[in-house]
């Protein structure tokens, strides 16, 4: 296989200082979910809810108003909604302020894309200039489309060409279509529990492994007929699926989050991706890395550079435009990518994709300047060191308080498992049925933990995931650890 080598200046990223001991982690996960949940004391939780009632009255009013015109009162799945979503009016670096003037340390960072910290001034200044000169969209070519594509192609080993899309979900849709068009095969294997957006074929085995179509409400069975899932870290199971598929026409692609499902909530073993690469080569299937989160949090070269494993196709989103909208792209080997040739009326064999606002000047300029700043400031490595510091502190607190919780990090992605709802054993239909009620209890505990963190000045992703950024100085992390300790003492 002809593999493009990264430039000499792009050494393997130091954004991830060490890969976690996955065997030890899974033993701790198992211990966590085998014991009763350890939620916050009821008197303490009453005080948390009182914070929202007394200190967040504007947010409550806006959330009630939103419910009349927005289903559930929120437009985005990450908008924390227990006891109600906070309305934010200002973000800057490591902090955000809500509509009532309460200030928080922002560990959500818009779900991960703002590696530089929120509302980063040098990028914002460049975007303002672009808007003054050109406006947000023209429908024609702009130089920043080229500049952004060149930067990504130079940085990522598996990307010879880049086609911008509107989001990570769209990019996954396009990558799956492209894999099927290129290989002439239809089946796609994903790792159970992984999240690859909400397109029809990928709403399958989401969040928890072996759940198949559990969330595929409104999606015809035919839309997921070519989608299969396989348990995390089980290479033998993937091999069996590839062998069986070969008898029925083959497998177009295996798609994987290279850190593991849900941004490493179930982390893969250190050599998993390399072994997966070998399996795909053996069975003539494309390997798709979903680097929506890991590009560029794992470094400028993404997880593929960190692991030294080159995928056939790469899906990007989130970080690609530094938090600005219309963030998504498909990258890959030149011969495969040429099947995404654009234009109207072409007779060439191609995988059709489109989008009026994709690759607009605003998004491409934001992406180009965000990535150049990430490169210049070594943001991924610095955010990773902040993640290390935070995780070490959390582990010390957990041990000191004698709690069963688990904290670990993969660079700037920090996981704090308290309820273990995402770690339940769903390896068989019987086990899935047995844990349904337990899952509801554990999910509610996770919501309560997220609310408690917020009441102590900390915004997380659903109370279980934390994204650090360039803006997270030692002082910010130390302040955050004090807040986390105050919450964990309430358990």
In whole angstroms, how far apart are CA 158 and each of 8, 35, 282?
15, 43, 19
Q: How far is 393 from 169, CA to CA, in rounded Å?
A: 35
Length of the chain: 491
State both tokens at 392: 């070490």
Rounded-to-5 percentages of helix, strand, coil across the chain: 45, 15, 40
In whole angstroms, how far apart are CA 199 and each of 9, 139, 306?
37, 25, 28
Does 154 qualify as catalytic in the annotation? no
Residue 207: which of 128, 290, 265 has the closest Cα? 265
Beta bridge partners of 92: 95
Does 290 qualify as catalytic in the annotation? yes
Residue 457: which of 61, 113, 55 has the closest Cα? 55
Where residue 485 falls (left for φ over 0; alpha for ψ -120 to 50; beta otherwise) is: alpha
Q: Which residue has the tokens 């759940």?
A: 211
Q: How far is 107 from 414, CA to CA, in rounded Å?
A: 9
Does 51 qualify as catalytic in the annotation? no
State both tokens at 203: 């709403």
Q: How far is 355 from 173, CA to CA, in rounded Å?
A: 13
Looking at 195, 306, 368, 453, which residue is catalytic? 195
In whole angstroms, how far apart are CA 201 and each of 70, 186, 227?
26, 11, 6
State both tokens at 417: 């498992």
Q: Which residue has the tokens 């179930």?
A: 266
Q: How far is CA 341 from the centre of its chain?
A: 28
Q: Judge residue 158's burial from the number of C-beta atoms within 10 Å of its C-beta, 0-12 exposed, 13-18 middle, 19 or more buried.
A: buried
Residue 72: which of 60, 84, 61, 87 has the closest Cα? 84
Handedness of CA 296, 299, 304, 310 (dihedral sign): positive
Looking at 318, 324, 382, 453, which residue is catalytic? 318
State both tokens at 302: 């993404």
Looking at 106, 290, 312, 388, which residue is catalytic? 290
Q: How far is 384 from 224, CA to CA, in rounded Å?
A: 37
In whole angstroms, how far apart are CA 491 and each of 139, 194, 478?
55, 30, 21
State both tokens at 407: 């904290």
For 313-367, what is the HEC assignment? EEEEEHHHHCCCCCCEEEEECHHHHHHHCCCCCCCCCCCCCCCCCCCCHHHHHHH
Residues classed as catalytic: 195, 290, 318
């Amino acid at each position: 296989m002809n593999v493009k080598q990264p430039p000499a200046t792009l050494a393997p990223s130091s954004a991830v200082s060490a890969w976690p001991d996955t065997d030890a982690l899974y033993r701790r996960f198992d211990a966590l979910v085998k014991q009763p949940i350890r939620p916050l004391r009821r008197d303490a939780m009453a005080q948390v809810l009182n914070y929202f009632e007394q200190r967040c009255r504007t947010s409550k009013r806006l959330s009630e108003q939103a419910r009349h015109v927005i289903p559930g009162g929120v437009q985005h799945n990450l908008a924390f909604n227990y006891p109600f979503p906070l309305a934010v009016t200002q973000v800057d670096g490591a902090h955000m302020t809500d509509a009532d003037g309460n200030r928080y340390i922002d560990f959500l960072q818009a779900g991960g894309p703002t590696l530089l910290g929120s509302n980063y001034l040098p990028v914002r200044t460049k975007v303002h200039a672009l808007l003054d000169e050109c406006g947000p969209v023209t429908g024609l070519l702009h130089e920043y489309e080229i500049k952004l594509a060149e930067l990504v192609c130079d940085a990522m080993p598996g990307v010879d060409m880049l086609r911008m899309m509107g989001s990570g979900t769209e990019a996954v849709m396009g990558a799956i279509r492209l894999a099927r068009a290129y290989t002439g095969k239809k089946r796609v294997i994903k790792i159970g529990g992984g999240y690859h957006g909400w397109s029809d074929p990928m709403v399958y085995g989401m969040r928890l492994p072996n759940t198949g179509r559990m969330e595929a409400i409104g999606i015809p069975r035919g839309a997921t007929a070519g989608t299969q899932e396989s348990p995390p870290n089980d290479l033998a199971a993937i091999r069996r699926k590839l062998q069986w598929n070969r008898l029925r026409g083959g497998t177009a692609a295996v798609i994987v989050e290279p850190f593991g499902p849900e941004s490493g909530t179930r982390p893969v073993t250190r050599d998993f991706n390399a072994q997966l690469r070998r399996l795909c080569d053996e069975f003539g299937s494309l390997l798709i890395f979903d680097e929506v989160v890991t590009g560029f949090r794992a470094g400028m070269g993404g997880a593929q550079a960190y692991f030294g494993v080159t995928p056939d196709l790469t899906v990007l989103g989130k970080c690609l435009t530094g938090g600005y909208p219309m963030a998504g792209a498909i990258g890959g080997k030149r011969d495969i990518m040429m099947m995404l040739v654009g234009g109207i009326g072409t007779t060439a064999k191609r995988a059709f994709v489109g989008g009026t606002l994709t690759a607009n000047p605003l998004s491409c300029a934001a992406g180009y300047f965000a990535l150049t700043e990430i490169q210049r400031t070594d943001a991924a490595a610095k955010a990773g060191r902040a993640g290390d510091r935070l995780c070490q502190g959390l582990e010390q607190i957990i041990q000191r308080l004698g709690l069963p919780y688990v904290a670990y990090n993969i660079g700037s992605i920090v996981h704090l498992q308290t309820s273990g709802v995402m770690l339940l054993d769903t390896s068989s239909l019987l086990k899935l049925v047995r844990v349904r009620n337990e899952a509801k209890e554990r999910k509610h505990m996770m919501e309560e933990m997220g609310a408690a963190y917020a009441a102590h000045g900390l915004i997380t992703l659903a109370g279980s995931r934390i994204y650090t950024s360039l803006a997270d100085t030692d002082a910010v992390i130390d302040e955050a650890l004090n807040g986390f300790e105050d919450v964990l003492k309430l358990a």
